[in-house]
Amino acid sequence: FGKSEMWYIIDADPEASLYVGFKQEIDENEYKQRIADGTITDVLARHKVHAGDVFYLPAGRVHAICGGILLAEVQQSSDLTYRIYDYNRPGIDGKPRELHTDLAAKALNFHVEKDYRTHYSIQKECDCLVLSTPYFNVHIVDTSSPFHRNFIGNDSFVITMCLKGDCKIHIHKTGDEIQLREGFSCMIPAVIADYDLIPMNGHTKVLETFIDKR
């Protein structure tokens, strides 16, 4: 089934970077040779990142997070991961961790893209679409006043992460309220996914993920 993912950069040190995709065309044989001699990162596309950057990672696209980055990861429901390189680091048992060189060779997409970033626009007091895929949708709401959300028609849970500014979630059906602090997430069941986002200190910014079944 694969595992498509998305990265949203919450914060990053100056000059922080990550790897997404290949920067030059290689084939399966060159890939295996570069894994063997430790030069695979020489052909990966490295990207400097800043807060708010988004990268979509469809199944088969090589990716790795480097130091100095705090990000939110949204992924298709799957536990499958193929590790192709581990920087020669030992695992907790002192031995090298397992690599999945041959399995990954069959799954990797070696095609070079012109641009690996996902481009989107954010407006205040607006439900802003960041990414729409067959596996998940991602929206951002940046608001300074109570903001109504209604996902009942989607028949999907909603995972809400508070990126900036604490907020309350007021559920219309039950009257319950949940306080969501900056950096925390909650899952709202589909049957009650009709609610208000209420900034607690004048402003809030949240990232919402759900499956659009319509």
207: which 2 tokens? Answer: 């990232």
Residue of 34, 61, 83, 117 with catalytic role: 83
Q: Is 83 a catalytic residue?
A: yes
Which residues partner with 79 through β-bridges?
Answer: none
Task: Specify the 3-state DSSP secondary structure of 170.
Answer: strand
Spatial separation of the C-alpha atoms in residues 116 and 209, rounded to whole Å: 21
- Structural contact between residues 53 and 20, judged by C-beta atoms closer than 8 angstroms: no
Instruction: Estimate to the nearest angstrom the gap between the alpha carbon of 65 and the chain centroid.
Output: 11
Can you say whether the dihedral through the CA atoms of 120, 157, 71, 133 is positive or negative?
negative
Q: Within 10 Å of residue 175's Cβ, how many Cβ atoms? A: 7
Q: Which of 111, 127, 149, 128 is nearest to 26 (CA)?
A: 111
**Alpha carbon distance, N-terminus to C-terminus of the chain:** 21
Active site residues: 83
